[in-house]
Amino acid sequence: MSVESQHTAWLATCPKGLELLLASELQALGATGVKETVAAVQFYGSVEVAYRACLWSRLANRILLPLHSFMLNSADDLYQQCNDIAWENHLTAAQSIAIDFIGTSKFIDNSMYGAQRVKDAVVDRIRRVEGERPDVDAKNPDIRIQVRQHKGRVTVSLDISGESLHRRGYRTGQGSAPIKENLAVALLLRAGWLEIAANGGALLDPMCGSGTLIIEGAMMAADIAPGILRGHYGFHYWLQHDQALWDSLVVEAQERKAAGLEKLELDIRGYDANPRVLEFTTQNIENAGLDEHIRLAHKPIDQFGKPTAETGLLLTNPPYGERLGEIDELIPLYQKLGTVLQKNFNGWKAAIFTGNVDLGRETDLSPTKQYSLFNGTIPCKLLVFTDMTSKSARIAERLSTPAPAQELTEGARMVLNRLKKNQRRLDSWRKKSNISCYRLYDADIPEYAVAVDIYDQSIYVQEYAPPATISEKIARERFAEVKQAVKEFSGNYRGKTHYKERRQQKGDSQYQRSNEGASDIIEVTEGRGRFEINLSDYLDTGLFLDHRPVRAMIGDLVKGKSFLNLFCYTAAASVQAALAGAKSSLSIDMSNTYLDWAGRNFDLNSMSSSKHELLRADCLKWLEEEGEQYDVIFLDPPTFSNSKKMDSVLDIQRDHGDMIRNAMAKLAPNGVLIFSNNFRKFKMDELTLRQFDCQNITPQTLDMDFERNPRIHNVWKITRRSSFG
């Protein structure tokens, strides 16, 4: 089969919802007879048009050359029809192949079996012609063949693109859940970026993650071919490949890129609240050759001021959650985004891509346009805004009078009075002790079961799960009253207020972020230690306030000694031990998230990594291994854990005896083990009590802010019994 004709049929695949945009793009590249189908566009053109589509299509996934189409009448029919194709016109026995088989039917109901039959047909045909057969390489083949069956019809195509065209070649690192490059282009097109760029407008993504939107936007504005960085295409080993033609297209693209970058003077910026993600973003931008044209900065969404550019496009893809708890946590993020747009971005255009329209409504803005698209299999909306006036402002304007302030309910007044009373009670103690992070309220009024913690100028409210006897409706009403009270109380605090709903955690869920967007990360002090606190992203903040006296006690014990911190979390105890003069420390946890956090805590306090080590390991398994001994050990395991990262399920009441005995084996002579847990019904193992000197020191480890909740934790000081005892 020769494909030199201007009327050769091709097929370009794309994500669902991009068909219309792709059809327009292919026409601009010289395609004719363009026809949209589901997740694909059929077109006609020469090899040059197909090559241009591979190099210049910002929207396509693959460019396919259909070789044969037939109705499947039997399983054997698949082999025979594919064996009849003149494969020798496209590949040789010296090349490797891969078969992508898509779809099922009553004759071929297994895609792996279908791929196997097609492979047999191809290699048998080549063996018959050349005497040898090509090899199969599923990962990096020279020639990729796609076979699709739909409603009984099978279409066999040559994939001349190779791997998906959305992989441009610049992304070496990524943030959480990045959007694909061709979807990013679709969002930019729907948001009107090309027109805005032509008029000199700016592009800004306040939650840029790995930078896909701003990189693709810059490439569009600079006329850079999206495929110019790719080193390999599927046609490179194709027998009908025209290398001279391809070389000329690449040279043309390079010249257009150089000219485009020379003229690119737009203000393109990306921001993110997570500095770790920005490290990947920086590398991606450098890989794309755009480091002189895109600016990055670490900035949470609520720190945005008025942009320097008068006009532009703010386009972003904030997280939208999959579970109810996640969605609730994301509401403040969307509210902040709406506030920023209303306050600082008049005259701009904005677009938000989300899989949850209800969250989009939290911006308090009315979209002028909405586009339905898919992020993978998730149906999403692109909400486009040209008027940054809030819905509530419009309503208020229509009504001419502002809505009256809501009066506090009787329940809200009760909670507010208790907050004020507790503040007065704790003031003298916390000022004398130089404590800025403390618990202000802990279900003091049982009907309002929340904990209220103060972190410097921020307030952190945790709602406890209501008992089964309380209806969901009543629980929500009471929590709303708590919010009323806290809002009234918060007038003297310059920081933000965060609300968390606590539920029993399973597996790795305790390590997962509940908010992928604008993180509220602050720095606090405890004694001489400085610590990173995250008030927005996780169930816990990074510092267990009830363990404040325990950390101080450890500091008194460790001067000049070695310290082992098991289940270390963010290693706050290790930092305090190091500051108190511990000669060395080892902090162990199985979570990379916590260990990275611990590393930042050590950096904040200028700690040497050579003396104070962090280790990722299953503490239970590590304790069973032989190793060196430590003078002071802190053992603070969770009450229960069935994390996939652990080799076994941990139940603190059942397992604490063996755990303590294994820890005591690591304890140096005359050493001290501090054992802590939060199980309210905890009872110390009888064998452990007989083997060791076990002192329940819980009363000494409760500061004034936790005295009314003496079951918040159990703490034991354990040493070896004297041989003379």
405 band by pLDDT with thresholds 50, 70 and 90: low
Cα 212 to Cα 636: distance, rounded to the nearest angstrom: 41
Question: What pLDDT, in 10s, does the model give residues 21-79?
Answer: 999 999 999 999 999 998 999 999 999 999 999 999 999 999 999 999 999 999 899 99
Residue 400: pLDDT above 50?
no
Mean pLDDT of 597-625: 92
Query: What pLDDT shows up at residue 177?
Result: 58
Question: What pLDDT, in 10s, does the model give residues 519-563?
Answer: 788 999 999 999 999 998 888 899 999 999 999 999 999 999 999
Helix (H, G, I), strand (E, B) or coil at 147: strand
- C-beta of residue 587 within 8 angstroms of C-beta of residue 574: yes
Residue 634: both structure tokens together: 């802190």
Q: For residue 338, how many other CB atoms are within 10 A of its CB?
A: 22
Residue 142: pLDDT above 90?
yes
Query: What pLDDT shows up at residue 516?
Result: 44
Question: What pLDDT, in 10s, does the model give residues 416-449?
Answer: 999 999 999 999 999 898 899 999 999 999 999 9
% of the chain exceeding 90 in pLDDT: 76
647 band by pLDDT with thresholds 50, 70 and 90: low
Tell me yes or no: is domain 410-503 CATH 3.40.50.300.
Answer: no
Mean pLDDT of 666-677: 97
What is the residue whose two structure tokens read 């029919």? 77
Cα 676 to Cα 686: distance, rounded to the nearest angstrom: 17
Query: What pLDDT shows up at residue 403?
Result: 46
Q: pTM for the whole thing?
A: 0.57
Query: What pLDDT shows up at residue 722?
Result: 74
How buried is 401 (Cβ within 10 angstroms: 0-12 exposed, 13-18 middle, 19+ buried)?
A: exposed
Question: What pLDDT, in 10s, does the model give residues 287-344?
Answer: 999 999 999 999 998 888 889 899 999 999 998 876 545 677 889 999 999 999 999 9
What is the residue whose two structure tokens read 């998906």? 164
Query: What pLDDT shows up at residue 533?
Result: 95
Residue 82: pLDDT above 50?
yes
Query: What pLDDT shows up at residue 719?
Result: 97
Query: What pLDDT shows up at residue 304?
Result: 85
Residue 515: pLDDT above 60?
no
Query: What pLDDT shows up at residue 576?
Result: 97
Q: For residue 531, how many other CB atoms are within 10 A of its CB?
A: 24
Q: For residue 230, how many other CB atoms are within 10 A of its CB?
A: 18
How buried is 256 (Cβ within 10 angstroms: 0-12 exposed, 13-18 middle, 19+ buried)?
A: middle
What is the residue whose two structure tokens read 């008049």? 346
404 band by pLDDT with thresholds 50, 70 and 90: low
Q: Where are the domains of the chain?
A: 8-159, 181-222+264-396, 410-503, 517-720
Per-chain mean pLDDT for the chain: 90
Distance of CA 640 to the CA centre of its chain: 26
CATH of domain 517-720: 3.40.50.150
Residue 175: pLDDT above 70?
no
**CATH class of the region 181-222+264-396:** alpha beta
Question: What pLDDT, in 10s, does the model give residues 486-499?
Answer: 999 998 788 889 99
515: left (phi over 0), alpha (psi -120 to 50) or beta: beta
Range scoring the smallest mean pLDDT among 146-155, 510-519, 542-551, 681-690: 510-519
CATH of domain 8-159: 3.30.2130.30
Cα 599 to Cα 275: distance, rounded to the nearest angstrom: 14
Fold match flag (181-222+264-396 vs 517-720): yes
- C-beta of residue 82 within 8 angstroms of C-beta of residue 122: yes
Cα 334 to Cα 312: distance, rounded to the nearest angstrom: 20
Residue 93: pLDDT above 60?
yes
Query: What pLDDT shows up at residue 42?
Result: 96
Query: What pLDDT shows up at residue 724?
Result: 44
Residue 512: pLDDT above 80?
no
| CA neighbor of 590 nearest in space, from 667, 663, 508, 649 | 508
Question: What pLDDT, in 10s, does the model give residues 202-256?
Answer: 999 999 999 999 999 999 999 999 999 998 999 999 999 999 999 999 999 999 9
